[in-house]
A = this chain, B = another copy of it.
Amino acid sequence: MAFALLNRLTAKPGQRDRVVEILLESGRMFGDNSACQLYLVAESEDDPNLIWVVDLWTGEQEHAEALKTPELRPFIEQTMPLLEGMPEQIKIRPVGGKLPN
């Protein structure tokens, strides 16, 4: 069953651009993974430190496997010190709509 996450990340003041760069760079490894149907990195329009990442996967298991990739670890290690606290993850269950092929 399809699986999606709304990830809410708060960058430390002045660090949002750098966090966004890292998120875009790390997301490139999902480019060839057909289990990843969407990986949208977006900035809040209201809060200068807030970042949203929306990702859509063919299933929760596929997502969990993608996160185990050792190549991801340096990106996570670079990002965490630039954030205020832990990213907030909102798990949602897609039911339909106009979706990527």
A residues with a Cβ closer than 8 A to B are 4, 6, 20, 23-24, 27, 30-31, 36-46, 52-54, 56, 90-101
Contact = CB atoms under 8 A, between A and B. Distances in A.
Nearest to A96: B24
B97 A100 contact: no
B6 A99 contact: no
Interface centre among A43, A56, A91, A96 (most CB of B within 10 A): A96
* Binding site secondary structure of chain A: strand
A24 B54 CA distance: 19
Given A24-B95, A38-B98, A43-B95, 4 more contacts: A41-B97, A44-B92, A53-B97, A99-B100
Give how many copies assemble into the complex. Answer: 2
Interface centre among A23, A36, A90, A91 (most CB of B within 10 A): A90
Contacts of A93: 42-45
8 contacts: A27-B96, A38-B40, A38-B97, A38-B98, A39-B98, A40-B97, A99-B100, A100-B101
